[in-house]
Chains A and B, each alone.
Chain A
Amino acid sequence: MPAIETFQLEKSYTTGFWRKRRVAGLKPLTVAVEPGEVFGYLGPNGAGKTTTLKLLMGLIFPTGGSARILGMELSDRRMKSLIGFLPEQPYFYEYLTASELLEYYAQLSGVPGRERTRRVQEMLARVGMSQSARTQLRKLSKGMLQRVGIAQAILHDPKVVFFDEPMSGLDPLGRREVRDLIQNLKDEGRTVFFSTHILSDAEALCDRVAILHKGELRGVGAVEELTARTQSKVEILFHGLPAITLLSALGAECHATGETVRAVLAESQQDLALDALRREGARLISLTPVRATLEDYFIERLGERMDAAEVRR
């Protein structure tokens, strides 16, 4: 049984006062996340990532389709005690201290009284906030609030954790800590579903990712599988400025620094490029295959989309 599954889940909004029109926030989405998986939900700003998370959390209602978490309906109260959620740029009750806030959330999540204080202290220590446990939240920095946010999401020992842009507002050290924490959650056997537009984070952490653009699922799969679908490239370093014209004609991106030229082009054009260099008498320095990254795949998918839109126009 998948930890999270959606069937044609969709959300559209009505806009306009006199001339009403429907705008799709999320086009029918069918996706399944397996237990113990770290699943990255990627997309540029406004892609529909937060809309999906809000639907899964029951904060907004779908206009079509359905979803289940741990095999239970979204309205199931038992399911809610088995999940944790960190919203994007979380706001908390600023008149509370970090430990009071966690105590309150532990109560709402049904953590038994005897265990509550211990869990709160444990979580504060886990996110490095023990020193600021008695500080009112209004006095904490954005990064510290994010840590409190993470602590509240995992406080009640959830099986599935949803993070909406968990690295947002964090410095490089903080981001590293969150990455480690997500890795630890995975090691503990929890399912992690996190949305981000920072692709390097997703690449480093995720077993599988889904790419969303303008509310539409554009691709889903393991990172290696997706990047393998991306056209492989090679990087050629050479001396000989006159060869730039020929290589550019083969679709290479060329950058010259003094006499040295760096050209990146599709692997399929490699032999033609080497022939051109020979003909122009250029001196080859190196030829290196370039590993496709998630970013390449991402840009390729979004690029395809833009091209299609331009053709329609």
Chain B
Amino acid sequence: MSVPIAHVARNTFREAVRDRVLYNLIFFALLLVGAALLFGQISIGIQRIVLINLGLTAISVFGVVIAIFIGIGLVSKEMEKKTLYTILSRPVRRWEFIVGKFGGLAWTLVVNTFLMAVGFFAALLLLAHHFERADGWLLVAIYFIILEFVVVTALALLFSTFSSPVLSAVMALALFVIGTFAEDLRAFAAMSHGATRLFATLAAYVVPNFASLNVISSVAHGQPIAASLILYNTVYSLLYAAAALCGAILVFEYRNLK
């Protein structure tokens, strides 16, 4: 890794860690995992399923919220506050800054997810008193959630390079919601005709397919995840994030700073 990238990433991580909003979000996520434990206790026979569904969904939703709300300010805030002036006047290339920012936030999300996952597994242990072999698939679901964060972070960063934080948040959130229903969009494209079919097919392939990254329901029922899906999701997410990151670099490389 280029040295400036590592320094920018480390500082981005430090900024996120010192942000109180982050702790509030983690607290609420853990609270929701705790609440899942309660819901589980009143759901006779399906406690585990309820706990896994609610717990992993909480980790995913709060992580996406963190990714969007920190991601949208990664570049625009630096431009607005002019902190970029003293960075880019040093031997730091613009693309290194973007990649460093991305790396810092992605690492923050990995650490957060780890902390929330510890809370989640503690709740699971509290409920069931032991782990089952099928619980290993929960780790795969958490890995997919991290891939989801990587894609969302790259998209938020891309929007952050050319629009205001509010507009970036709206676009990133909209893309996340559409991407969650990507499979439905594909099904709709298959059913429609003419220009609608063309447009829906195009949209279905352009938006990130978050639906395929969501295996929470399957792992809650103890169903295994195919190795091919793990490979496919890994390659797809990394390529999608890389494309969004390249877009962000391309925009930022030629941008005049106000």
**Chain A residues proximal to chain B, CB less than 8 Å:** 54, 57-61, 77-78, 80-81, 83, 85, 87, 89-93, 95-96, 104-105, 107-110, 149, 152, 162
Alpha-carbon distance between A108 and B85 when the two chains are bound, in angstroms = 13
| A95 to B256 CA separation, bound complex (whole angstroms) | 26
A229 to B83: give the CA distance in the assembly, Å: 41
Cβ of B91 and Cβ of A58 under 8 Å apart? no
- In the complex the two chains form, is B83's CB within 8 Å of A105's CB? no
B87 on the A face (CB < 8 A): yes
A-B contact pairs, 16 of them (CB 8 A): A54-B85, A54-B257, A57-B85, A57-B89, A59-B89, A61-B256, A77-B91, A83-B89, A87-B82, A89-B82, A93-B11, A96-B14, A105-B86, A108-B4, A110-B3, A162-B89
Residue of A nearest to B97 (CB): A108
B90 at the binding interface (Cβ < 8 Å)? yes
Nearest chain A CB to B90 CB, angstrom units:
5
Q: How many interface contacts (CB-CB < 8 Å) are there between A and B?
A: 70
A92 to B93, CA, bound (A): 19
Q: Please, which residues of chain B bring their CB within 8 A of the CB of A89?
A: 82
Contact, CB under 8 Å: A80 / B91: yes
Q: With A87-B85, A105-B86 given, can you name 4 additional A-B contacts, CB distance below 8 Å?
A: A58-B89, A78-B91, A108-B92, A109-B91
Chain B residues 5 to 62 lying within 8 A of chain A, measured CB to CB, are 7-8, 11, 14-15, 18-19
Main SS at interface, chain B: loop
Please name the residue on chain A nearest to B17 by beta carbon: A95
Task: Provide the residues of chain B in CB contact with A80, threshold 8 Å.
Answer: 89-92
Assess the A60–B256 pair: CB atoms within 8 A.
yes
Say yes or no for B88: interface residue by CB 8 A criterion. Answer: yes
Q: How far is the CB of A72 from chain B (nearest CB, A)?
A: 12
Interface residues on B, range: 20 to 34
CB neighbours (8 Å) of B4 from chain A are 108
- Choose one: B83, B92, B256; the contact of A93 (CB below 8 Å): B83
Contact A108 to B83, CB < 8 A, known contacts A54-B257, A93-B15: no
Residues on the A chain within 8 Å of B129, using CB = none
Report the minimal beta-carbon distance from B13 to chain A, rounded to whole angstroms.
12
Shortest beta-carbon distance, B95 to chain A, in Å? 12
Evaluate contact between A90 and B85: CB separation under 8 angstroms: yes
Q: Is B131 an interface residue (CB 8 A)?
A: no
* Measured CA separation A247–B157 after assembly (Å): 69
| Complex contacts, A87 vs chain B, CB 8 Å | 82, 85-86
Name the CB-closest residue of B to A87: B85
Q: How far is the CA of A257 from the CA of B254 in the complex (A)?
A: 62
| Cβ contact within 8 Å between B18 and A108 | no
Chain A residue at minimal CB-CB distance from B16: A95
Contacts of B87 in A (CB 8 A): 108
B133 lies within 8 A of chain A by Cβ: no
A90 to B89, CA, bound (A): 13
Contact A59/B257 with A81-B91, A105-B86 known, Cβ cut-off 8 Å: yes
Considering the complex, give the chain B residue whose CB is closest to the CB of A162: B89
Cβ–Cβ < 8 Å partners of A96 in chain B: 14
Set A61, A95, A108: member contacting B91, Cβ < 8 A: A108
Contact call B81/A91, Cβ cutoff below 8 A: yes
- How far, in Å, is A54 (CB) from chain B's closest CB? 7
- From residue B75, how far is it (CB to closest CB) to chain A in Å? 14
A85 contacts B85, CB within 8 Å? yes
- Taking CB atoms, residues of chain A closer than 8 Å to B257 are 54, 59-60
